[in-house]
Structure 1
Amino acid sequence: MKDIKAYIESGILELYVLGDVSAEEKLQVQEMVSKHPEVKAELDAIETSLENYAAANAVDPSEKVRDRVLNSMLINLGDDRIFPGQTTREKDNVAALPARPSNFYKYAFAACLALLLVSIAVLVGMYDSLQESKMRLVALQLDNQQFSKRVNLMDLQLGVFRDSTFRFIKLKGTPKTPASVMTIAWSSVKRKVMIDMADLKLPENDKNHQYQLWAIVNGKPVDLGVFDAASARADTADMKEMKPVAAPQAFAVTLEKRGGSANPTMEEMVVISNI
């Protein structure tokens, strides 16, 4: 049941209704609908909701679109010579019959044309409305994903602050970068190391370099992973988890080539703190 719920919440059913799935995904949705009543019920609900939304937000086609369709149809009408004003008369010894007006056919054709134009206008309006609804749905899905990510990050940060096993250590700048400062949360029980990206104040690194966190264990540097200072500006609620460490005596950060280094470049050390 948990897998079915996850499948429904994945957004695939909304994309299926909008026709924005591959052939393989379409077959997969149809198979899930045939096997699971709850999936079918959700699909029916989505279709009904989208139809109601389209009906409530239906708009008339723009003047430009309507004029373009009308001009295209009228060009192909031809002139009035396709509607003869009178019937031809037989000349082979047949008595001439009085000419009958053909206005009925003209009016009938004009009525059919008018009905066709109205139908085209309605279809154009429905298409525009459906496209707008599709774009709004995609935008809402993206907003929902970003919101969920933000909530998860805040939950993680709050969990760290509430966990009494975590100890917060402030690393201060070296003579190379005296204004630099950052905060690390370290749990000796869980052996976890978290960087508080919201409190990260380091010079922004370029695309060829990254900052590397080190733990000093028994006098030797231990790699705890790399990070970018630029990511601190992207999301102020982020707590970045690094590699675990059991019993460090100090933490330090150096600027290394992108991807990190096996050993720290001491002259590129930017912050350090003893525990």
Structure 2
Amino acid sequence: MENINEYIESGILELYVLGQLSPEEKLQVEEMAAKHTAVKAEIKDIERSMELFAEEHAVEPSEYLRSKILGSLVTNLGDDRIFTKAHTRTEEIFEDDEREADNIVTMPPRQITFFKYAFAACLTLLVISVYGLVTMYNKLQDTNTQLTAMQLDKQKIANEASFKDKELDIYRDTVYRVLRLKGTAKAPTAAMTLAWNTINKKIILDMKSMKLPGHDKQHQYQLWALVGGKPVDLGVFDAGNSIDTSGMKEMKAIAVADAFAVTIEPMGGSVNPTITEMVVSGASK
């Protein structure tokens, strides 16, 4: 109902009654009047108001002016050229009778055009404001993305620094025995460093410095300890692009070991090492 009231108060119905609408706008008003009785009733009220206004301010022409006009119309009804001259003469009569013309009251025009321009200006400002808000939002999103990237870089640097500190602590701590395993005939260029804590028996692998041959996704590296001639499983790990390369990796602890070795085994590890797949090995002393 509020939309109908806004439509009625927009001024378009007055323009319709005055005949100042385009054919498309006129058709729209007629469709609205057919759908809504309030619009139809408002049109009738506007027509009635204009008729009352015209009747109230009507000026009765003088008898002389009436006779002149009617006489010219009757005399020149059949001759367009004469009618044109008579029409010009009629205009002269109107000009001569300025006193009567001065008594005619003209109905003040409605300010519909002003409201149309005002509405267009408001709509333009609204579009500009929305565009500004969208632009500001996009810039804010870009700023947030940059801040997130900076925070990730900062966290990465902090993690690397923490790793370096931990690595240095291990290498400086006398309770750790640093062992360097060398490549075998299968992988002559392979190498790996591990630290063995002689107190709590922990085994730490240096994932950053290791150089091991690649393997497919169905296999993993497996660390072994040789104790009294028997292999003991110390766990599996990945290298290359895996998450294990983020720093130091802790393996299973062991109290006594004569040597260490790494083999390539099926995913999850094996019960016994595959000797032909040994890539690095080294004594514990």
TM-score class, shorter-chain normalisation, is: 0.5 to 0.7
Q: 1:227 offset after TM fit, Å?
A: 1.6
Q: 1:185 offset after TM fit, Å?
A: 1.5
**2:265 aligns to what?**
256
Q: Cα 1:150–1:123, aligned 2, differ >3 Å: closer, same or farther?
A: same
**1:117 aligns to what?**
127
**1:8 aligns to what?**
none
Q: Cα 1:94–1:198, aligned 2, differ >3 Å: closer, same or farther?
A: same
In 1, the alpha carbon distance for the partners of 2:215 and 2:14 equals: 80
| RMSD (Å) for aligned C-alpha atoms | 2.9
Q: 1:82 offset after TM fit, Å?
A: 8.2
Q: 1:101 offset after TM fit, Å?
A: 5.2
Q: 1:223 offset after TM fit, Å?
A: 0.9
Q: 1:243 offset after TM fit, Å?
A: 1.2
**1:247 aligns to what?**
256
Q: 1:212 offset after TM fit, Å?
A: 0.5
Q: How does 1:16-165 map to 2 (within 5 A)?
A: 84=15, 90-91=50-51, 93-95=55-57, 97-100=106-109, 102=111, 103-165=113-175
Bigger helix fraction: 2
Dislocated runs of 4+, deviation >6 Å: none
Amino acid at match of 1:252: A
Q: Cα 1:176–1:110, aligned 2, differ >3 Å: closer, same or farther?
A: closer
- Give TM-score, length-normalised by structure 2: 0.59
Q: How does 1:163-242 map to 2 (within 5 A)?
A: 163-231=173-241, 235=245, 238-242=247-251
Residue by residue, what CA displacement relative to the aligned partner does 1:81-137 show, whole Å, maximum 9, x if unpaired? 889499587336454742415333233223322332332233222222222233223
Rg larger in 1 or in 2? 2
For the Cα contact (< 8 Å) 2:237–2:244, is it kept in 1?
A: no
In 1, the alpha carbon distance for the partners of 2:131 and 2:211 equals: 59
Amino acid at match of 2:173: D
In 1, the alpha carbon distance for the partners of 2:135 and 2:13 equals: 33
In 1, the alpha carbon distance for the partners of 2:156 and 2:189 equals: 33
Paired positions, count: 195
For the Cα contact (< 8 Å) 1:197–1:232, is it kept in 2?
A: no
Q: 1:233 offset after TM fit, Å?
A: 10
Amino acid at match of 1:215: A
In 1, the alpha carbon distance for the partners of 2:117 and 2:215 equals: 76
Amino acid at match of 2:51: K
Residue by residue, what CA displacement relative to the aligned partner does 1:128-159 show, whole Å, maximum 9, x if unpaired? 22222332233233223322322222222111
Amino acid at match of 2:268: G
Amino acid at match of 1:91: E
Which SS does the other structure have where 2:281 is aligned? strand
**1:40 aligns to what?**
none
For the Cα contact (< 8 Å) 1:216–1:250, is it kept in 2?
A: yes
Amino acid at match of 2:206: D
Q: Cα 1:82–1:247, aligned 2, differ >3 Å: closer, same or farther?
A: farther
Q: Cα 1:137–1:268, aligned 2, differ >3 Å: closer, same or farther?
A: same
Amino acid at match of 1:228: D
Q: Cα 1:82–1:260, aligned 2, differ >3 Å: closer, same or farther?
A: farther
In 2, the alpha carbon distance for the partners of 1:223 and 1:83 equals: 96
Which SS does the other structure have where 2:215 is aligned? coil
Gaps of 5+ in 1: 1-80
In 1, the alpha carbon distance for the partners of 2:13 and 2:168 equals: 81
Which SS does the other structure have where 2:232 is aligned? strand
